[in-house]
A and B are shown apart, each in its own frame.
Chain A
Amino acid sequence: MSDVGANKLAKTSLHEEHIRLDGKMVPFAGFDMPVQYSAGALKEYHVVRDDGAGLFDISHMGQVRVTGADSLKFLQYVTTNDVSKVVDGQVQYSGLLNTEGTFIDDITTYRISGNEYYLCINAANRHKDVAHLQEKAAHFDVAVADESDDTTLLALQGAKAQSMLQPLVDTDLESIGYYKFAQVHVNRKTAIISRTGYTGEDGFEIYIPNSIAVEVWRQLLAGGAGPIGLAARDMLRTEMGYALYGHEISAAVTPVEAKLMWITRLEKGDFIGRNAVIARKAEGPKKRLIALKLTGRGIPREHYKVYVDGKESGEITSGMHSPMAGGVALAYVKPEHAESGELSVVIRNKHVPAERTTTPFVRSNVRR
């Protein structure tokens, strides 16, 4: 989507639609985005969790197309996951590391063909990512094109997502499996649709040209989808325990700390950050990510301190009041406290007891 200078907030192609729907607009990653609509965050959350489908404008996210004979070799070098395992039409969650082994970004990689890939990157990291990829591309026979300004990205998430999206698409959505995608036509325009998302519900992410953004948005709402703002989106992703850049993932942690070794394939050969990750793995993580649930009353929130056996051990990176699970959070603690020790979270100078748990905090309904 278009940037409009350093001090002004950028707008997605759907900005006027958000205003029309009474969206409460806030600055987010350089964009003016709806934190909630008139229904409010909790109702929006329930639209997605309970049997409906929610529509999200996530066009602030960036898209990068990688083309050329060395595409696979290049992506094996700049990303953490093993791209050779990805087949045409498959999506892979992955990371971009610097030479220190810490995160530049977390991304998804779409394999269109052996010499064409499509990357979805975080809004806040877009310019940094593109500069990094283009610099590294100089040593390979590849072209790296930033297509973010031309692309509208929608997410349609929830039990009814497939039935609501199908009328707009010329391909049987049933044929698209989890973390798979297809190049399709939406309103006769070329689009990419993947069965992916950030909510723990079945659903799709839909990449369309800006020229049809408003009509597709309106068609999906007319079909029964509810508009969902950033607040509900964050509730939905936190309940799944999904990491978010700037919270669980950052330039301060390696995949060893962030519990992301499952997307870091050391055995695939050389890649940026590999040596640093191997070293960190050998010496042990500096801190470890845990999932916790308050057993006392309160809401655990980002930056609240976590104590173990009465001593400060770390802090919360994402926390919330889950309508189903109560006060739940992700937190970094000292490595020796990851498995044992009495947990508490400091809320307004009071220690509220907590216990370790596992993610997702509530049941995931993604279609495996």
Chain B
Amino acid sequence: MTIPVDLKYTKEHEWVRIEGDVATFGISDHAQEALGDIVFVELPEVGRTVDAGEACAVVESVKAVSDMYAPVAGEVIEVNEALESSPEQVNTNPYGTGWIAKVKMSGDTAELLSDDEYNTFLEE
């Protein structure tokens, strides 16, 4: 299981990449492994405004339906439409081609965990 050092994390097992005022997010390696084979992703609508912690996407594995929560507040500016035809990328490349959406941030990122903090959280 990998936890890249250049990303931020949430306790709901999302990762976030901050570039300027844009946050790209997906689910962590730990989360994809726990969910098992992902067979469907429901993406948020572009243009939608989300609060931090608001359910904004759905990831479905063979057996389970899981809500995904926006890690930061802002406006959804782009979604990974490739996941509609190949949702398995969330399993095979969770931090890369398995990204879910990009948000133009309106709030802060103080609540996010560092890689070390996320690792500690997983061990608890």
Contact = CB atoms under 8 A, between A and B. Distances in A.
Interface stretch (A33-41, A101-109, A338-346): A33-41
A299 interface: yes
Contact of B37 (A42, A297, A348): A42
Contacts of A348: 42, 58
Interface stretch (B2-10, B60-68, B106-114): B60-68
B40 A40 contact: no
Contacts of B65: 299, 301
Nearest to B61: A41
A298 B62 contact: no
Nearest to B58: A348
Chain A interface main SS type: mixed
Nearest to A232: B62
Contacts of B60: 299, 321
B37 A40 contact: yes
B38 to A, nearest CB: 9
Nearest to B65: A301
Contacts of B36: 24, 36, 40-41, 231
B101 interface: no
Interface residues of A, number: 17
B33 to A, nearest CB: 10
B73 interface: no
A43 B58 CA distance: 22
A328 B1 CA distance: 33
Interface string B10-25: 0000000000000000
Interface in B30-45: 36-37, 39-40, 42
Sorting the interface of chain B by its residue count into under 10, 10 to 19, 20 to 34 or 35 or more gives: 10 to 19
A321 B63 CA distance: 10
A320 B39 CA distance: 10
B9 to A, nearest CB: 24
Contacts of A35: 63
B39 A231 contact: no
B116 interface: no
A231 B63 CA distance: 7
Contact of A41 (B40, B42, B63): B63
Contacts of B39: 42, 299, 321
B40 A231 contact: no
A242 B37 CA distance: 23
B84 A297 contact: yes
A36 B33 CA distance: 12
A299 B63 contact: no
Contacts of A299: 39-40, 60, 65
A41 B84 contact: no
A84 B53 CA distance: 64
B40 A298 contact: yes
Nearest to B34: A24
11 contacts: A24-B36, A36-B36, A40-B37, A42-B39, A42-B62, A43-B37, A231-B63, A235-B62, A299-B65, A301-B65, A348-B42
Given A42-B88, A299-B39, 14 more contacts: A41-B37, A42-B37, A42-B39, A42-B62, A231-B63, A232-B62, A235-B62, A297-B42, A297-B84, A298-B42, A299-B60, A299-B65, A301-B65, A321-B39
